[in-house]
Each structure stands twice: as C-alpha cells, then as structure tokens.
Structure 1
C-alpha cells in the first residue's frame, strides 16, 4: 500500500467531514461508516489518524476553538470603530452572528467534555482576556469607557459571557438565557463596561436557543 504523502491533509479532511456530519445529523447519529462514506477513506486509512469516534470529536472541538481564536484575532485587526467601546461592541456582534461557531456548539451540546470546557476557559483567560483588556484600556484613554481593573474586568466578562451565560452548557431555554444575559448586561454596566445591548442579547439567544 502506498504511504500517505499528506497525512495532515487527510486528518483535516476527516475532521472537516465529521464536523459537517455532526451538525447535520448529531454526534450520536453519526457513525464511523458515515465518515468513511463522506471522505472515501478505508477503515485503515481513518484509524491511522483516529482510534475512535471520541478522538474525532476531540479534534472537532479543538478545531472549533482554533476557528474562534482565529476569527477573534481577525476582528481585532480589521474592525473599525470611532472609539474602543464601539469597536468592542462591533466585534462582539460579529462573533454572535457567526453561524459557524454556534451550529457546531448546538450539535455537540450533549457531548460537552469537561476537559474541553477547561481548555476553553484556560484559552479564554490566557489569550483572549488580555486582548480585550488592551481595548478596555484604550477605551479608558479615549473616554468611551470608565473601567477599573481592566485586566480583571476582561477576565470576568469573558468567563461569564462564554460560560456562565452559555445556554448550551446548561441546557437553558430562551427565558432563562435572557434573564442571565440581562443580569450580565446590568452588572457589566456597573463596572463601566457597558458593551451588551439588546441587539447583542437577541443575536446570542437566536444563535444558541431553539
């Protein structure tokens, strides 16, 4: 049998196909055979890269984290705004409206793995929060924000928005999610970080809650 000259491309093809199948059919309803049929690989070809469907799921989740990180950094660089506050609000709105982020979350709602959540929290604190903190500091300088302790405020904001208020992690309905987002809106306004408006709340609820 000829050696696979492009193992990373094959691995990516498996992960991409699995992600689409998980969204279309759900994780439980997607079989290894479905992934084989979609990719055209043999069982040996697939098992060379992944030993189980659970390993494929881990790779799909990691791919989602990488996509969100890449999208976040693109928006930081490319989003205009008359001041830091408006730039931050636009970035949050574009992330909330990104269907690629939310559809996969919904498909994997019943398969949330604690290690995946912890990895996401660590990425949030170590990589994303410092970037948000710099924009908050910029807002303090240009007068559009008045936020004490920008570094800590950024961490609290992202943790509560991405995890505490996330209906997928807790299987919450629209009303429960709305209550938490509006509480977060009020709390962050008191901290001088009034970034959450009614439009963002509506986007988040429609994206995550059926």
Structure 2
C-alpha cells in the first residue's frame, strides 16, 4: 500500500467513526481535520468534497460490518445456523462494536432521511443487500427442508431487521444492552418455534 493509500485509509477510518458518532451534519471539516491530524488540503487531496468523503466513509463502515457477517456465516450451511450467525453479529457488537457509534446503517438511515438524498440512497442499497441476504438464507432453507415451506422470506427479513435495529436504537438511547439482548432472545425463540419444521 502506497503512502497516499495509507493516508486515504486513515482518513476513511477516522471519518467513518466521526460521522457514525456525531452524524454527517454534526461533523465539520474542522472535526475531520482534528481526528485525522491533517490539514484541509490533505483531506481534499483524497476527496473532492465532504459529501464524497461521507459516502466513502459510510461504505468503509458498512464493509466492517460485512466482514463480520462473512466471518459469522463461514462454514455454516444450515439455514437456521446462518440466521443465528447473522443475529450473532449483533450480539458481538454489544461488547465489541465493529465501529464506534453503533450501527452505521441505522445511524445513516435516520440522519439522511430528508437531509441528504444521496446518502439515503446509499443506505437503502445497503439495506436492500442485507434484506436480500436474509431472504436468500430463508429461500435456500425452504428448498432444503430446513425452514417451513409457508414462511415468507421477505416478511421474516423485515421483522428480523426491524427488531434488531430497533433494539440497537433503544440500547443506545438508554445506554443499556438489555433491549438488544431481549430482541436476540426473542429472535432465537422465533426461529426455533416459527421457522424450523
């Protein structure tokens, strides 16, 4: 990796955590300069604008989460084990977050709702890929007889993601992981009772 690539990686790493904790609107160029230790020119040498940095920092943060999903799903073939692996990523984030500030998808979706349409579109793309991942696990599970045939994959994906992300929000709001722990326990029971044949 060249020195320029190392600098860009450092900026993305620091900016991703900054945006994820302070929000895009709440983080100024001065804040980015402070956390990276670079001058404005050093930042703009790698990114044309704060918007471009925000999009790439979001992608960087999401990639950290995707790495965790890949690790959690590796060597798991049964649909139930794969769903539990996805839930396990949230469980691991309680004590060992992938990035400071919590779930970058949740944070970005909330902040970009009306204020930043391009960032909102990027968050929707990530959510689509996450929903697709859950749906494919369930569809394959149905085909293999590991999941009940009447289960609606898209419905399960909506419920699962909404429950986990809502629990993340409550746990952050109250600074108490019990809300996420309850959601995880509920989903574990849901999978055993409602999804397994």
User: What is the TM-score normalised by the length of structure 1?
Assistant: 0.60
Cα separation, 1, equivalents of 2:107 and 2:128: 23
- Cα distance between partner residues in 1 of 2:30 and 2:156: 42
Distance in 2 (alpha carbons) for counterparts of 1:20 and 1:65: 11
Q: How far does the alpha carbon of each residue in 1:42-89 deviate from its partner, in whole angstroms, 9 at most, with x for none?
A: 322210222222222211221233223222121111559xx642x145
Q: 1:121 to 1:104 in 2, by over 3 A?
A: closer
- RMSD of equivalent CA atoms: 4.0
| CA shift for structure 1 position 17 | 0.4
Question: Which structure 2 segments of 5+ residues have no match?
Answer: 114-118
Residue in structure 1 matched with residue 13 of structure 2 by the alignment:
16
Do residues 53 (structure 1) and 50 (structure 2) align? yes
Structure 2 counterpart of 1:39: 36
User: Quick check: 97-106 or 30-39, which moved more?
Assistant: 97-106
Change (3 A) 1:48 1:38: same
Look up the match of 1:130. 136
Please say if 1:94 is aligned against 2:92: no
Tell me by how many angstroms 1:132 deviates: 4.5
1:10 to 1:156, Cα distance in 2 relative to 1, 3 A? farther
Which residue pairs with 1:118 in the alignment?
124
| Larger CA deviation: 97-106 vs 48-57 | 97-106
Q: How many residues align?
A: 173
Q: Choose 1 or 2 for highest CA Rg.
A: 1
Shift of 1:127: 5.0
1:158 aligns with 2:157: yes
Matches within 5 A, 1:59-98: 59-78=56-75, 84-85=79-80, 87-97=81-91, 98=93
Any idea what the Cα deviations from partners look like across 1:115-166, whole Å, max 9, x if unmatched? 123312442355553345334544x15xxx32347xxx33442244336984
Moved >6 Å (runs of 4+)? none
What SS is found at the alignment partner of 1:100?
coil
Assess if the C-alpha contact under 8 Å between 2:112 and 2:120 holds in 1. Answer: no
SS of residue in 2 equivalent to 1:11 = helix
Q: Contact 2:16/2:60 (CA < 8 Å) preserved in 1? A: no
Counterpart position of 1:193: 195
Question: Cα gap change, 1:41/1:67 in structure 2, threshold over 3 Å: closer, same or farther?
Answer: same
Conserved? CA contact 1:84–1:135, under 8 Å: yes
Tell me which residue corresponds to 2:116. Answer: none
TM-score when normalising by structure 2? 0.63
Most deviating of 70-79 and 159-168: 159-168
Alignment match, 2:148 = 146
